[in-house]
Amino acid sequence: MADHNALPLVILTEKFASLPGIGMKSAQRLAYHVMSMDMKSVEDFANALINAKRDVGCCSQCQNLTEREICPICGDESRDHSVICVVESPKDVTAFERTREYGGVYHVLHGLLSPMDGITPDKLRMRELLSRISAGGVEEVIMATNPTVEGDATAMYIANLLKPLGVKVSRLAFGLPVGGMLEYADEVTLYKALENRNNM
């Protein structure tokens, strides 16, 4: 914003613009919107920021975000603790929970291997995954990272680490999305769908 703008507004705009996916124009619009909110709502927003950062940490088992020592999923005795689904981020846990079909537990890596960006195995929560498996009781680890270069490389890396421990390691199936149209599928997806075809 130009220098005729009030400084507190310029600062707020910069804070919004520092968030991912929000450009300067959107940030300015959001800052003006805050001006139109009542003081109580603005205070609630500010407190929500502080509270989330202060009260939410990582589950000591699966590393998902939680305000407790052990998250509700890891603490749920009715779930199958012998199956661990390994995901990149907390939002992937939310995606799996939406299906209401998965009854095992999770492990959140908080990233994917990307040596070019300095993300080496020690930057991810791999040590915690290894110690969960070393503790025993785990029969299968499902690698559920995204089908991208980094996702595949991370899955492969972890699979190679885990296989000597005698645990079954599987990977999500890749193929046609349900409801998708053949003609719109890219070549790699179609090839995967063909390669992984099932008997009828």
The verdict on 80 binding a second copy (CB under 8 A) reads no
Which tokens go with 26? 């959107």
Cβ closest to a second copy, residue 15 vs residue 125: 15
Cβ closest to a second copy, residue 145 vs residue 169: 145
Q: Name which of residues 47 to 76 contact a second copy (CB under 8 A).
A: 47-56, 65-68, 71-73
Q: Which residues are CB-contacts of 153 (< 8 A; sequence separation ≥ 6)?
A: 112, 113
The verdict on 31 binding a second copy (CB under 8 A) reads yes
Compute the distance between CA of residue 123 and CA of residue 130 in angstroms, rounded to an integer: 14
Binder to a second copy among 23, 69, 80, 97 (CB under 8 A)?
Answer: 97
CB 33, min distance to a second copy, A: 5
Binding span for a second copy by CB under 8 A among 18-26, 132-140, 152-160, 176-184 = 18-26
Sheet with 168-171, side-by-side order of all strands? 104-108, 80-87, 140-143, 168-171
CB 92, min distance to a second copy, A: 11
The verdict on 15 binding a second copy (CB under 8 A) reads yes
| CA distances, 77 to each of 82, 104, 125 (Å) | 12, 10, 23
Hey, is 78 helix, strand or coil?
coil
Binder to a second copy among 23, 80, 82, 91 (CB under 8 A)?
Answer: 91
In the chain the beta strands, taken as DSSP E runs, fall at 57-58, 65-66, 80-87, 104-108, 140-143, 168-171
C-beta of residue 192 within 8 angstroms of C-beta of residue 174:
yes
The verdict on 24 binding a second copy (CB under 8 A) reads no
Cβ closest to a second copy, residue 31 vs residue 112: 31
The verdict on 2 binding a second copy (CB under 8 A) reads yes
